[in-house]
Amino acid sequence: MHEQDFTERDIYVTGTLVWYYYICKREVWLMAHQIKPDQDDSNIDLGRFIQEHSYQRDKKEISVGHIKLDILRHDKGRLVVGEVKKSSKYETSATMQLAFYLLELRQAGVEAVGELMFPKEKKKIKVELNEKLISTLEEAKKNIVRIIYQEAPQAPQKIAFCRNCAYAELCWA
């Protein structure tokens, strides 16, 4: 696809694209071009299970515009957006995904703080927007759009994430 094939409204940088940007640029392109991963992959199933069965008292799966929040709750007068992950192994990706949600909410006039939640590890990490985080996120969003506009995904590169990736057959078959 060429840049002119997209219109401004066709391109939405999503939290999922931000997550994968920090893991695998090839996956960003595949997802943005509606190439779905293996939905029967055990890691996808495990992630869904953890998300559905953790933090039962919190509101879950809240859609706001083109973003989908895992958890939304009030805590001591503050709005808290929770992002549930199965492991803190990809903490940077998770932090940037959550920062993306917080920035999208801020731009819509809603102030919130974030909390990364790793139920299997019984671990929580607070995330709050600051100028450095916003600047890093804005640069990532520009790079994601550049990736989307490429005519083809970059060649696959073996990384640690490949072992558990639902796109593995597409890259390595």
pLDDT, one tens digit per residue, over 99-137 is: 999 999 999 999 999 999 998 899 999 999 999 999 999
For residue 86, the one-letter residue type is K
| CB-CB contact of 91 with 116 (8 Å) | yes
Pairing of β 59-64 and β 67-75: antiparallel
Q: Where are the domains of the chain?
A: 3-172
Phi, psi of 105 (to 5 degrees): -65, -45
What is the token pair recorded at 80? Answer: 């808290």
CATH 3.90.320.10 fits 3-172, yes or no: yes
Number of neighbouring beta carbons within 10 Å of residue 23:
16
> What is the rounded CA–CA span in Å between residue 95 and residue 97?
5
Among residues 105, 41, 96, which one has the least CA distance to residue 83?
Answer: 96
| pTM of this structure | 0.80
Report residue 39's pLDDT band, with 50, 70 and 90 as the boundaries: low
